[in-house]
Structure 1
Amino acid sequence: MGLTSNKVLALAVLFAVLLFAGTVACWPRLACRDPRAVAGRVALLTATQVAVFVSVGLGANQAFGFYASWADLFGRESGQGVVVDHDGHDAGGTAGPLEVVDTGQVNVPGGARPRTGGQLQKVDLVGRRTRIASRAYVYLPPEYFQPRHRTRTFPVAVVLTGYPGTAEALIKGLHYPQTAHALAKDGRMQPMILVMMRPTVAPPRDTECVDVPGGPRTESFFAEDLPDAVSHHYRVGRKPVSWGIVGDSTGGYCALKLAMHHPRTYAAGAGLSPYYRAPTDRTTGDLFHGDEELRNSADLMWYLRHRPAPDTSLLVSSSRQGESNYRETLRFIDLVEARKPTRISSIILDSGGHNFNTWRREIPATLQWLSGRLSDR
């Protein structure tokens, strides 16, 4: 059973409850100073506390999507798996850069019928240029399957998690497909395809969407390979006006950077609780290898001051209380306002932490904002 399995969580909770009940039942018999009784009390208390800790940890991981698997949790997840050769075909000559490996329904009324609820597709992506391989989930709206829209193309929003994050958390924790479905059904946004994934495409390393010298070319993967793969598989618009990108935390930083660095790919980028420069720590390793130009370009404030202003739309979010990026976000807004033609919008809450609950409050308005800036042509 996987780390994110509901059965694993249920078993952990059941075990903790049984240990608690056993401790209460056995305590009278162990209530003496005999060394064996003392050791029994210590063992029961330790086991109960460990069980409770494991249950809480599994529940938190289910809610916030920190780790996707046991290998991910223990840092044993291997690096990139590359299945592309130079002519763009596999040995059988049939595989493309995007392969659907599973389909599922959206958790909405009528979700079992794609024409009513849309569909979730689990896909494997392989970068033709970067040779990066990653998994994603694609939400296709109901209109994608309806006969009257069979020739229609759709705008796309790439949705990124934070670090480490899991793509499943965008569905189960942040409810992106359900929110998009409800907003489109109410006429508050146009139907859009969502490509949901984490920015950690070279696990367990956090590459901060940087083209690391001699390492993973993460920025190029999201700027070139991902749009290319999606465009060749789905009915989507191929002009920048059909493409947007959104993310939270690390994903928010990546979304802003990709929209700024690549306005010919993404017409809009939204960062929920973003930061504005790539950190360097034990999770990232050396991202720049002494390349000062690369380091400076990964600082969005520096980029706006020293490079031509990109023709793109940006959205940032923060909270007056509870978010550490509030003042820096205000400075970023002021800087963008002075750098036309770049356009800036914001969501500023009175209070809200760096967590799923806050982002769920911001996602509906963010999707509506993206919808208003994208076109299916």
Structure 2
Amino acid sequence: MGLTSETTVYVMAAVAAICVALLVWLWPRLAKQGVWQVLGRLAAVGVAQVTIIAAFACWLNSSYQFFGSWGELFGNVDTAPVGVTQAGGNNDGGAITGVSVKGALIQPNGNEQLNRVSGLPTGNPAVNGRVESVKVIGRRTGVVDPAFVYLPPQYFQKAYHRQRFPVIVALSGYPGSIFNLAQYLRVSQTAGELQKSGQMQPTIMVMIRPTIAPPRDTECVNVPGGPQTETFLAKDLPDALKANYRVGHDATAWGVMGYSSGGTCALQLTMRNPHVYTTAGALSPDYKIKDDATTGNLFGSGLGRVNRINGHDLMWRLKHLPVPQVSVLVADSKHGEKGYPQTLAFIKAVKAPMRVVSILPDNGSHNFPTWVREMPATLKWMNQQLTFPQDVVPRHLPKPKPGHTTVRASGQEPSEAPTRRR
């Protein structure tokens, strides 16, 4: 009985109802004076309250997927043996059936969460695409993190069977989950619709959470003596995807996006690792990572602490370090979100060769309805910045033309943006 299953929710609700009924039934018997009766009343009320809270917590977790398993709830992180296996595909009715990930750094995962997501592609993957539930194993860090991978229809078509594809990695906020990315942010559904209508070139979407050591929020930091989140997302994840999917090997084919702390992470990864990610989309991000009650001490102690803190302060980096040649999109609402002044300051601080555009709606809160509104424009703009990989064998295969729709930057009219070239 999984932590996120509906069965768990129903069982906990039934237990809570039984405890409340027992409380009502036993109360007259516990109404007498005496130490044992008083203790009995306290115990009965306490048990009823605990079961009610537990039932509500199970329902809330099942709805928002804060913790995907009992192990995660109690802080037990999965580990797995490391080994790289190059995967391949087989022909099936004119389509490539996908990749075999058994024994690789990307392995099949249970479909419990995926089965609860609405609007995912079904039927022939060569026509509709497919979303796979996998777990990513970090070769350097030993981290095992669940992910959903959206593969566009072209990935399964014979005409593209030697073609590599651009990649956009989508990161959840904290505590967040890949379920939130798929169900509430609708990453794969939105990308599929845009690609089907020709507004976005065929792109692989990878939905993953940056919370690699739950319940701790490690942001995108390599914690001294602790979780190595940046290494996992900037090295392990790209290596695992390149070993198991037909994705581009050059950084110009890689982008990363996210909402809330996931947006903060997207900016951090791109500005700190421009040789890995060249494009970022950040919805309601922060521009500096700080210690708080959920993170603990992220930067260690000693002489290197100040440098580590400054290194994760993007405004400090823009002022004191060479500016990376990357493109970023930031989104924040003028009314309803606290980060709008910081976003304006960040936009003003960016200088060449870095490029920034923005989505600045008049109203919107720090929630999924706001981010869903911003998703189509974000994905289209990011996709325009990514190069459709040239590493094609044989090289005479046709190359789809990328889209050319951009979002409006602050104070600018929409304009055509050329696809980045190597």
Aligned to 1:271: 282
Q: Secondary structure at the match of 2:135?
A: strand
Aligned to 1:97: 105
For residues 296-307 of structure 1, what are the structure 2 equivalents within 5 Å?
A: 296-307=310-321
The 3 A distance-change label for structure 1 pair 124 and 110 is closer
Aligned to 2:246: 235
Aligned to 2:382: 370
Aligned length: 364
Is the aligned partner of 1:252 residue 2:263?
A: yes
CA distance in 2, matches of 1:293, 1:203: 26
For residues 165-184 of structure 1, what are the structure 2 equivalents within 5 Å?
A: 165-184=176-195
CA distance in 1, matches of 2:65, 2:120: 25
What RMSD over aligned residues (CA atoms) do the two structures have, in Å?
3.3
CA distance in 1, matches of 2:202, 2:353: 27
For residues 44-63 of structure 1, what are the structure 2 equivalents within 5 Å?
A: 53-54=53-54, 56-63=56-63
Matched residue type, 1:266: Y
Aligned to 1:66: 66
Cα contact 1:117–1:141 (8 A) shared by 2: yes
Aligned to 1:212: 223
Q: CA deviation at 1:146?
A: 1.8
CA distance in 2, matches of 1:188, 1:15: 50
Aligned to 1:4: 4
Q: 1:325 aligns with which of 335, 339, 345?
A: 339
Aligned to 1:354: 366
Q: Bigger CA drift: 3-12 or 211-220?
A: 3-12
Q: CA deviation at 1:130?
A: 3.3
Deviations 1:175-211 (A, max 9, x none): 2111111111122212211111110123333222112
Structure 2: gaps of 5 or more residues: 86-101, 390-422
Q: CA deviation at 1:18?
A: 8.4
Q: CA deviation at 1:60?
A: 3.4
The 3 A distance-change label for structure 1 pair 70 and 306 is same
Q: Secondary structure at the match of 1:246?
A: strand
The 3 A distance-change label for structure 1 pair 95 and 48 is closer
Cα contact 2:172–2:262 (8 A) shared by 1: yes
Cα contact 1:65–1:173 (8 A) shared by 2: no
Q: CA deviation at 1:162?
A: 1.1
CA distance in 1, matches of 2:175, 2:358: 25
CA distance in 1, matches of 2:378, 2:166: 15
Q: 1:124 aligns with which of 135, 154, 167?
A: 135
TM-score (structure 1 length as normaliser) = 0.83
CA distance in 1, matches of 2:12, 2:253: 45
The 3 A distance-change label for structure 1 pair 66 and 131 is closer
Cα contact 1:63–1:173 (8 A) shared by 2: no
CA distance in 2, matches of 1:63, 1:17: 20
Deviations 1:237-276 (A, max 9, x none): 1111110001112211110011111112111011111111
CA distance in 1, matches of 2:145, 2:252: 25
CA distance in 2, matches of 1:265, 1:159: 15
Q: Bigger CA drift: 111-120 or 310-319?
A: 111-120
Deviations 1:277-318 (A, max 9, x none): 112123322222232221111111111111111111111111
Q: CA deviation at 1:11?
A: 4.7
CA distance in 2, matches of 1:84, 1:9: 35
Q: CA deviation at 1:44?
A: 9.4
Structure 1: gaps of 5 or more residues: none
TM-score (structure 2 length as normaliser) = 0.75
The 3 A distance-change label for structure 1 pair 253 and 45 is same
Matched residue type, 1:202: A
Aligned to 2:165: 154
CA distance in 2, matches of 1:129, 1:53: 40
Cα contact 2:64–2:179 (8 A) shared by 1: no
- The percentage of aligned residue pairs carrying the same residue is 43
Deviations 1:110-165 (A, max 9, x none): 61322233222222322333333322221111221122222222110111111222
CA distance in 1, matches of 2:364, 2:145: 32
CA distance in 1, matches of 2:42, 2:272: 58
Q: Secondary structure at the match of 1:349?
A: coil
Cα contact 1:109–1:117 (8 A) shared by 2: no
CA distance in 1, matches of 2:342, 2:326: 20
CA distance in 2, matches of 1:361, 1:19: 43
Q: Secondary structure at the match of 1:285?
A: coil
Cα contact 1:77–1:204 (8 A) shared by 2: no
Cα contact 2:120–2:188 (8 A) shared by 1: no
